[in-house]
Structure formats: C-alpha cells, structure tokens
Chains A and B, each alone.
Chain A
Amino acid sequence: MNAATVIFLILATLLVISSLMVVFLRRVVHCAMALVTALLLIAILFISLQAPMVGVLQVMVYAGAIMVLFLFVIMFLNPGVLEQPSVAWWGLAAVLSVLLGAFLVPLFSQYEPGDNPVTSTELFGSPDVLAKSLFGEFVLPFEIASVLLLVAIIGAVVLAKREHGSDGAA
C-alpha cells in the first residue's frame, strides 16, 4: 500500500462522508456546502488522475458556478420549513439503493483492469491535448453542446421571468 493509495483512501472516505451528508442533512444550505466539499474532493481526484484541466474546470463550473447558483436560489426562496420524511418510503428507497450498490460494487471489483495501465506521457490531460481532441474529433458534439447551453439560457430567462401582475417569491 503506497502513499498514493493512502491518499486516495483518505479522499474516498471524505467523499463518501460528504455525499452522505448531502443526502441526509436536513438543512438545505448544509447539503449544498457538503456537495461543494464533495465536488472539490472529486476535483482533487481528477487532478490525481492526470486530468488537471478537467479538475480545475470541475472547480470552476461546479463549485464556482452551479453551486453558487444553487445557493443563490436557496437564499432566494429561503424555505424555512424542514421536510418531514415518511419512514416507509425512506425504507423502500434506501433498500433499493443499497441493492443497487450491492449490484454495482461487486461488479466493479471483479472488473479485470486488463493489462497494466498505459504509461501516459507528461502531456496527457494537458490543456492542448484536451483541446486537440475536443476541437478535433469531438468538434460536432462541442457545437451541439454550445447550442444546448444557448437553449438553456433562453429557457431559464423565460421560466424565471416574472409575468405581469403576479408578484412571485422574493
């Protein structure tokens, strides 16, 4: 068990704990902060997997933009009431999800990594390599993604625009 594995295990435990917090904490803001933590941990895992570009993007996009948006909305609506979970439903859902985990974990643990991983060069995961494949073979999906984002912007504007007469929350 070398140092890398130890670090990974620490990160993994932290990640699992924080994601559990996301799901089981009762205050929405706490959930959001737990999720931010989880995202940062995942970003670190990315960087440790020789994907620095994606890792930093992860921090920028998720932690920097999306989660701030979540917080913004949470404060916008500021739902004071805490939810009352129904025990039976909890039980069913929990059992099902545990079942899912019970399916997936052994499946992945039995997965044969095949031959030893490709000894990647120093450049692997660097911005220009990513850019080359992104604007090379994946240029069409890239354009489509841009269209998707445009649609999302318009949709958000239309949805959140307060129509005349009715004054919404906040």
Chain B
Amino acid sequence: MIVDLAIIAVKAFLVLFMVLNLAGVLGWVERKGSALIQDRIGANRASIFGFAGMGLVNTLIADPLKFLTKEDFIPPAGDKLLHTLAPCMALFPALVTFAVIPFGDVLILGDRVINLQVANLNVGILYVFAMGSLGVYGIVIGAWASNNKFSLLGGVRGSAQMISYEVAMGLSVMGVLMVYSTLDLQEIARDQGMLIRELLPAGAAFLQPVIGWLPAWGVFLQPLAFLLFFTAAVAETKRIPFDLPEGESELVAGYHVEYSGGKFLMFFAGESAEVVTAAALVTTLFFGGWQVPYLMRDGFHFPWGSIWLLPHLAVVILQVAAFTLKVLFFCWLQILLRWSVPRFRYDQVMRLGWKMMLPLALLNVVVTALIIVAAQ
C-alpha cells in the first residue's frame, strides 16, 4: 500500500521533473536554434560571476531568476483573483497531461511489476483531450482579467482557435483508436510493437515482402491522421504559424500583454510544456512511444529470424531512451517550424481548421472504418 503510493509519487515526481526541465531546456534550445537559423550568435550573455561558459546551465538558472525578480504588475481595472489564477490554469493542464503518457514498458523489480506510466487510465487518450481542452481557460481568463482590449481580442481568438482545432485533433486520433481498438495509451504503445505482417489480412498477403517487415507504428498505418494530428497539436500550442492569440504585430502580445514576472514565466513554461506534450503525444500515438523496432521484452527479434537476447534492465533503459529521443526530435521539429514558417492570417487559420482539416479527418475515419470492416 504505502510502497505503491511511494512508487506512484516517485513516478509523478520524475515525470514532472523531466517535463519542467525539458521546458526550460527548450527555452535555451529555442534561442540557440533561432540564432542558428537567423545566422547570428544567440543566448551567450548569461554570465554568472563572470563565468559565461556552459550557456545551457547559465540560461537555465538565469531565465527564472530574471523573471522572478521582475515586478508582478496587476492592472488596477483588472480582476485581481482571476488575473492571478489564469497562469496556473495555463500551466496546470500541460503538466498533468503527462500523467497518462507511458515512457516505458513494465519495470520488474523482484516480484513487483511497475508500469512505467504515472496513471494507467483505460480512457487515457480522452483524458489527454480533456486536459487539453482545459488549457483554453488560462488564455481566456487571463485575457479577460487583464481588462485590456488587445488581450481580450487575443482571448477571443485563442478560445475560438483552440476549440476549432480540438475538433480536428480528436477526429484525427479517432482513426488511430480504431486501428488499435483501445483508449489506453499504454496499450496503444504496446500494440505498436507488432510488425505489420501480423496485421495484414489474408487478402493482402502479397504485400508481405514489401511492407511486412515494418513495425506497426501509427505513422505507417495512419499517415494522414499523423499529418492532421501534428498540425492540430502545433495549433494547440498557439505558436507560430498559429500564434494568432499573441500576434505581436497586431495584438502586441495578445492575452498576456498585461503579464510580467513570475506569471508570465508560468505562461511561458506552459507554452513550452505544451510543446513537449504535443511531442510526447505524437510519439506515443504515431511513432511507437517507447518502442524500439524489433525489441521485445527479452531482446531483439529481427524479422529475418535472428534473435539477440538482452537483460531486462537494458531493455527498459533502451525503451525509455528511445521515448526521450523521439520526444526531443519532435520538440526540435516544432522549434524548426516556429522559426521557419510565416504566420497565418486569422481567417486562414479558421478556414484551414474547419474547411480542410475537419473534412480530411472525417474522411480518414470513414476510410479507416471501411478498411477495418473489409479486413474482417
């Protein structure tokens, strides 16, 4: 009993630690990446006691210090309580989403089997969406509470945009859920350990030599869903090219015009955390989560038959490492996007969401359903 609670607490702490640090690191990576893209030197001014080396560490410490020491300004005409609550509402959902994301298969310590996932919900994916939908409140309330026309506009835009893209997002995931026929993320991750040849119906046997050796990852089974989901996820993070709620050029800073200091830091961290969340979700749903191709619980089983046994601990470490690497890759991809793609116009965003992604997602669902029925 106590031990179980302890284990859960440890897992939760670990995940939280990882995510927050990753968010912090992202801040630095972003600066460096942008500098790289814009062909300049960036983020090299943070020096502690004249020691400017180790930019990462310095930035990690300097950024929070800078934010926390700034004045925390609350607009006098604004709503004190909500103005304070809003950043928490923005940060909270991004963090708790990780509770259901599996970062590894089971870890067996003696007779105890530990599921490498904070909370094993059988409705995991729905939980993710629920939390994602809660993310809107941070923006809307913050925008309203600061009683500022720009931020209000930003809030209105934000709420509209996030609701729109949640629809497309949910529908795009529907295909994946139909393929793996479960809502449990851990289950989805495990199913992606299979090879496609195990899924191929007898009718499509001729495809065996062509794609039979591929792992049954979502990206292979649901390529369209992957594109839609990734786009929607990026839109959910409200970053360029979807940063209409902030839109420096027209709304100054959108919903967090009136925020400064620690609260702005929370918004900022929330945004980074959302980036990580999006990456983790894409990984889990479409890129096998913690799966390493051909790596079973007892070692590698290659399609050409040869087997390479490994100790359990090594397997677990490999899985966690694989998960982390994939997540990092997608975080980097999003940063790349943010710095290389121009911003949409608002009506373009809406049209993309409602008139292109939504119909495509529906089409994907229908086609998937037809194929599944045909395969049976």
* A touching B, CB within 8 angstroms: yes
A residues with a Cβ closer than 8 A to B are: 27, 29-30, 33, 36, 52-53, 56-57, 59-60, 63-65, 68-69, 71-72, 74-76, 78, 126-127
Residue B259 at the chain A interface, CB threshold 8 Å: no
Seed contacts A64-B166, A71-B137; 14 additional CB < 8 Å A-B pairs: A29-B144, A33-B82, A33-B85, A53-B126, A59-B134, A63-B130, A63-B133, A63-B134, A64-B134, A65-B133, A68-B136, A71-B141, A71-B144, A126-B122
Residue B160 at the chain A interface, CB threshold 8 Å: yes
Give every chain B residue within 8 A of A59 (Cβ-Cβ).
Answer: 130-131, 133-134
Closest to A56 in B: B126
| Complex-state Cα separation, A75 to B143, whole angstroms | 10
B residues with a Cβ closer than 8 A to A are: 79, 82, 85, 121-123, 126-127, 129-134, 136-137, 140-141, 143-144, 152, 155-156, 159-160, 162-163, 166, 183
By the criterion CB–CB under 8 Å, are B129 and A29 in contact? no
By the criterion CB–CB under 8 Å, are B122 and A36 in contact? no
Q: Which of B121, B131, B133 contacts A68 (CB 8 A)?
A: B133
Q: Which of A53, A64, A71 contacts B140 (CB 8 A)?
A: A71
By the criterion CB–CB under 8 Å, are B183 and A36 in contact? no
| Complex-state Cα separation, A1 to B155, whole angstroms | 45
Q: Which of B123, B152, B163 contacts A52 (CB 8 A)?
A: B123
Secondary structure type dominating chain B contacts: helix
Q: Which of A29, A30, A53, A68 contacts B159 (CB 8 A)?
A: A68
List 20 A-B pairs, Cβ < 8 Å: A29-B144, A33-B85, A33-B137, A56-B126, A56-B127, A56-B130, A59-B134, A60-B129, A60-B133, A63-B134, A64-B133, A64-B166, A65-B163, A68-B163, A71-B137, A71-B144, A75-B152, A78-B152, A127-B122, A127-B183
Q: Which of A29, A64, A69, A126 contacts B141 (CB 8 A)?
A: A29
By the criterion CB–CB under 8 Å, are B82 and A29 in contact? yes
Secondary structure type dominating chain A contacts: helix
Q: How far is the CB of A103 from chain B (nearest CB, A)?
A: 35
By the criterion CB–CB under 8 Å, are B129 and A64 in contact? yes
| Complex-state Cα separation, A22 to B214, whole angstroms | 55
Give every chain A residue within 8 A of B136 (Cβ-Cβ).
Answer: 64, 68
Q: How far is the CB of B295 from chain A (nearest CB, A)?
A: 29
Indicate the member of B79, B85, B133 with the most A CB atoms within 10 Å: B133
Give every chain A residue within 8 A of B129 (Cβ-Cβ).
Answer: 60, 64
Give every chain B residue within 8 A of A27 (Cβ-Cβ).
Answer: 79
By the criterion CB–CB under 8 Å, are B126 and A60 in contact? yes
By the criterion CB–CB under 8 Å, are A75 and B156 in contact? yes
By the criterion CB–CB under 8 Å, are A29 and B133 in contact? no
Asked whether A72 and B156 contact (CB < 8 A) given A63-B130, A64-B134, the answer is yes
| Complex-state Cα separation, A76 to B155, whole angstroms | 10
Give every chain B residue within 8 A of A30 (Cβ-Cβ).
Answer: 82
Closest to A126 in B: B122
By the criterion CB–CB under 8 Å, are B126 and A57 in contact? yes
| Complex-state Cα separation, A56 to B136, whole angstroms | 16
Closest to B124 in A: A56
| Complex-state Cα separation, A108 to B339, whole angstroms | 61
| Complex-state Cα separation, A24 to B136, whole angstroms | 25
By the criterion CB–CB under 8 Å, are B159 and A52 in contact? no
By the criterion CB–CB under 8 Å, are B159 and A72 in contact? yes
